[in-house]
């Protein structure tokens, strides 16, 4: 099946610094990727839809200037958390959208745990 | 707007017992429905999905789910639970692209 990777799997950074998380589709091209955030013991909340070659579409309440998304190629989307603060500590999961015929499926990455100290 | 309700936040079952996790959805058209499992600190693994056709869907690890349009439900079942099934289970509904997740059901398995 299709595989999506994320790097890094975990990261610790100091408050005020920026962190970049990569999401790659390893064996297929994904024109659309999604970024989710999961707080402890809660569900996944969609942050934004990342489209190759165009600006990301952010969900209501998500600060686009804080969570920068770049989808420069058909296999790579990046999420940069700028000027990170402890409240940004969370589990970030990406997914890549694959359309096969008339059906689609999202393939999820393993997630990145961000801790801001 | 699409939404998913998982009424049971936490369920405890004995190893070897049967399991049913409930999921109700709200969606304006024919839904795409999914069940995912997440182990602590891990990403999501797809257990099974329903797009169309047979309403009883077989998945991995011995799980199955039944789509009931009249009840807007997509309950997950397993006839005999193993200790390794302890995890968080998420039901999700989607259309063309956007997928909405339920809050999750945490499954605890006792010996």
| Residues of A (42-81) whose Cβ lies below 8 Å from B | 42-44, 46, 49
Q: Do A44 and B44 touch (CB under 8 A)?
A: yes
Residue pLDDT, tens place only, A18-43: 999 999 999 888 888 999 998 877 78
Residue pLDDT, tens place only, B23-64: 999 987 778 899 999 988 777 888 999 988 889 999 999 999
| Residues of B (36-65) whose Cβ lies below 8 Å from A | 36, 41-46, 49, 51
Taking contacts as CB-CB distances below 8 angstroms, the residues of chain B near A109 are 43
Measured distance CA(B107)–CA(A99) in Å, rounded:
32
Using alpha carbons, select from A7, A34, A5 the residue that is nearest to residue A19: A7
Nearest residue, CB atoms, A43 vs list B32, B45, B103:
B103
């Amino acid at each position: 099946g299709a595989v999506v990777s994320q790097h890094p799997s975990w990261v610790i950074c100091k408050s005020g610094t920026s962190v970049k998380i990569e999401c790659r589709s390893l064996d297929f091209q994904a024109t659309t990727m999604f970024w989710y955030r999961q707080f402890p013991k809660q569900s996944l909340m969609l942050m934004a839809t990342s489209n190759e070659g165009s600006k990301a579409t952010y969900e209501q309440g998500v600060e686009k200037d804080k969570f920068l998304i770049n989808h420069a190629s058909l296999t790579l989307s990046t999420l940069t958390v700028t000027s990170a603060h402890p409240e940004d500590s969370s589990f970030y999961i990406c997914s890549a959208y694959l359309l096969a015929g008339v059906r689609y499926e999202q393939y999820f990455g393993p997630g990145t745990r961000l801790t801001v100290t | 707007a699409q939404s998913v309700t998982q009424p049971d936040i936490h369920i405890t079952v004995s190893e070897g017992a049967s399991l049913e996790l409930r999921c109700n959805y709200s969606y304006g058209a024919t839904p795409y429905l999914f069940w995912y499992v997440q182990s602590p600190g891990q990403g999501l693994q797809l257990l099974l999905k329903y797009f169309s056709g047979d309403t009883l869907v077989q998945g991995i690890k011995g799980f199955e789910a039944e789509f009931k349009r009249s009840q807007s439900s997509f309950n997950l079942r397993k006839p005999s639970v193993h200790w390794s099934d302890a995890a968080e289970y998420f039901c999700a509904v989607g259309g063309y692209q956007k997928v909405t997740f339920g809050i999750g059901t945490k499954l605890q398995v006792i010996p």
